[in-house]
Chain A
Amino acid sequence: DSGVTQTPKHLITATGQRVTLRCSPRSGDLSVYWYQQSLDQGLQFLIQYYNGEERAKGNILERFSAQQFPDLHSELNLSSLELGDSALYFCASSPYRTATAEAFFGQGTRLTVV
């Protein structure tokens, strides 16, 4: 167990809908990273927050947004969902500010868009 908690574990929703994925980082970690893993695109870095502020942005669509709250948990919001958004979404956390620091991954949320 990495100490990073993601909820829900599975989510099935229809195209056009909006969902929120939640991540609780390890105790004391200030950075939260979001990743998307799909069969055709592999693992892709989406966005990083450090102590409440957006720190780095990767290949994140405009329909997606994230935030980190004062208690350091983070939410990834996905809207106007398309079939191609079906993927495993990982959250990771670390105590460091950089994007490639040693990060600990949660077990992921499997999103299925039908």
Chain B
Amino acid sequence: EVQLLESGGDLVQPGGSLRLSCAASGFTFSSYGMTWVRQIPGKGLEWVSSINTSGGSTYYADSVKGRFTVSRDNSKNTLYLQMNSLTAEDTAVYYCAKGRGSGSSRREFDYWGQGTLVTVSS
């Protein structure tokens, strides 16, 4: 059974940093691209960042480019999101999601974690 378990969400002050983790199990982690999607409570879904299987290619939404860094450790089956210079606009539930396949299907998200809440406030 595929499982994705996020952790690391917390209350942080504006300008602060946080690192999210997503522990994966039930599939060959190193064979799939992975993605972070966020959702402001009560609002819609926003793609944040994606990473390819090896970690050699990363992609970011304009709203987080230069502040967030996605990475993965295939030996630990874990995805990460390092978030720096956080603002109130980054307050959201952050989900990690597995790409369904390769090519364009890597942007189809077939499994999602339960989410972790990041709150940026003084």
Do A and B bind? no
